[in-house]
Amino acid sequence: MKIALLGYGTVGSGVYELIEKNNESIQENFSKNVRVERILVNSLNKYKTHKAFNIFTNSFEDLIKEEFDIAIETIGGIYPAYDYLEYFLKKGIPVITANKDLIAEKGAALLELAKLNNTILSFEASVGGGIPILKPLQECLAGNTIKNISAVINGTTNYILTKMFNDDISYETALELAQEMGFAESDPTSDVEGYDAMRKLVILSSIGYKKNIKWTDLPIEGISNILKADIDYAHSENYRMKLMAFSEDMGDGIYGTVRPVYVTSQSKYAKIDNEYNAVILEGDAVGELMFTGKGAGKFPTASAILGDLLDIIQNKKIQPSYHYQDSVHIHQYYPKKSKWVIRLTNGKLQELTMLLFECFSSNAIKLSKDANSDILYVELVAENEETLLQQLNQIAHKANCKYKHFLVFDK
């Protein structure tokens, strides 16, 4: 089987090396000779010493002069990746991609294109790297109605928050360390502002709930405004802080968000540290299932791509689908009764305390003042997020203070 490999960065090179390494066993077990026939790159100069330099090209027009059985895309970004995938799908050629940005943005259109041309679009590697999650969701759990999905699914932010907690350092210092270790890009915006995690959540949620959910419709909050005092509070209350991606089918619509939350020490997420990821799915029949592992990296991601490749070779791949005709109502606020931690700054302690007890039931409030600043932390239970924000806005207006609210996540 002749493969067109689009891109030869970290993931693309991992795919090539894994296919080369396992080619003999693939041929033995599946009676297929799988080989990378051509590799598309931006510039040929850096690959002149590569043992397979003769199969590299920097021209898509040159690449498609040949016939291929499967295309694997590891370029990233929306364009020109979309144009390349569109070309192969229109020709009825199966496509495998690890491109979460493309699937979150254009997944529904590409899946429809694959369906029209009786071929396959596979993207297991787009969500959890080496963690097998989409295949279980589509196949093993097909008899379930998925109730909710939660995930710590960005290794960069999890590494930063882990370092802040374990090493007693600031966000800025932890980010610099993550960049030095190769866990964060020189421009970390997509990771630290929650966009990467949201795109992954939308892919999971669209398949899980069978809805065409747009990532730009959901509220996103990253970790760039997390203070060392927020982590100190976590220590004092036996909490951990995580950037949580979670969604739930509320019956009358979908709630989904990416936001920093506190989790208790008993939480399943409390020990998911550094670059490790975890996903919990809850089905009506199976209950909760947890998937965990390294969510990114050269060979974990290449492993997921190879898994898709072998499924296609064996004609075992089930094509995911979104329900395009459904209009999805999105809840913008967390609609359930929950515990919250509120960080209050720039206010006078006595005035804030009085206003808090006026707005909230006294037996539901716990106050803690940060030892190293004038920050006041309030822990309380609210019926829903929208009502909570209305009350906090009143307090902020009257006391001329600022606030930030954190959900205490209960999984």
Question: pLDDT, tens digit, for every residue of 120-132?
Answer: 999 999 998 889 9
Average pLDDT over residues 5-12: 94
| Torsion region of 31: left, alpha or beta (phi above 0 gives left; psi -120 to 50 gives alpha) | left
327 found inside a domain: no
Cα(365)–Cα(342) distance, integer angstroms: 11
Residues near 180 by beta carbon (within 8 Å), at least 6 away in sequence: none
pLDDT of residue 30: 84
Give the catalytic positions in this structure: 200
CA distance 232 to 225: 15
The predicted structure's pLDDT at residue 364:
74
Both 148 and 264 in one domain: the answer is: yes
For residues 119 and 186, membership in a common domain is answered with: no
Taking the alpha carbons of 310, 107, 137, 115 in that order, is the dihedral positive or negative? negative
Residue-level pLDDT at 208: 93
Task: Please give the tally of structural domains in the chain.
Answer: 3
- 147: tokens are 């109730």
Cα(78)–Cα(93) distance, rounded to whole angstroms?
20
pLDDT reported for residue 323: 58
Q: Which two tokens stand for residue 293?
A: 């592992």
Position 324 scores a pLDDT of 54
pLDDT band, residue 315 (cuts 50/70/90): confident
Let me know whether 105 and 139 are in one domain. no
Distance CA 83, CA 61 (A): 12
Cα separation values, 173 from 39, 114, 177, 191, 316, Å: 39, 45, 6, 16, 47
Domain interval for residue 67: 2-123
Q: Can you tell me the mean pLDDT for 257-267?
A: 97
Same-domain check for residues 149 and 278 = yes
CB atoms within 10 A of CB 48: 8
pLDDT tens for residues 60-105?
999 999 999 999 999 999 999 999 999 999 999 999 999 999 999 9
Residue length, the chain? Answer: 411
Two structure tokens written together for 18? 């894994």
Q: Is the pLDDT of residue 203 over 90?
A: yes
pLDDT at 295: 76
Q: pLDDT (tens digit, 9 = 90+) per residue, 347-393?
A: 888 899 899 988 887 667 888 888 888 899 999 999 999 999 999 99
Residues 151 and 68 in one domain: no
User: Average pLDDT, stretch 118-143?
Assistant: 91
Q: Domain check: are 149 and 289 in the same one? A: yes
CA angle 154, 157, 160 (to 5 degrees): 145
Ramachandran category for residue 83: left, alpha or beta (phi over 0 → left; psi -120 to 50 → alpha)? alpha
Return the pLDDT at 58.
96
Same domain, 198 and 250: yes
pLDDT of 184 > 90? The answer is: no
What's the 3-state SS for 8-35?
Answer: CCHHHHHHHHHHHHHHHHHHHHHCCCCE
pLDDT recorded at residue 363: 61
User: What's the confidence (pLDDT) of residue 362?
Assistant: 62
Residues 250 and 156 in one domain: yes
For the residues 112-119, what does the mean pLDDT come to? 94
325 assigned to some structural domain: no
Same-domain check for residues 114 and 140: no
We report the CATH number of the domain holding residue 37 as: 3.40.50.720
pLDDT at 37: 96
pLDDT tens digits, one per residue of 31-54: 889 999 999 999 999 999 999 999
pTM for this prediction: 0.92
Mean pLDDT, residues 235-244 taken together = 98
Residues whose CB falls within 8 Å of the CB of residue 309, separated by 6 or more in sequence, listed in order? 3, 19, 34, 70, 72, 96
Band (pLDDT 50/70/90 cuts) for residue 222 is: very high
For Cα atoms 35, 133, 318, give the angle at the middle one, nearest 5 degrees: 60
CA atoms within 13 A on the CB side of 18: 20
- Work out the percent of the chain whose per-residue pLDDT is above 70: 97
At which of 123, 142, 175 does a domain end? 123
Residue at 226 is within a domain = yes
Question: Residue 142's pLDDT is what?
Answer: 87
Closest C-alpha among 298, 302, 262, 313 to residue 1:
313
| Mean pLDDT, residues 219-246 | 97
Identify the pLDDT of residue 96: 97
Give percent of the chain with pLDDT exceeding 90: 78
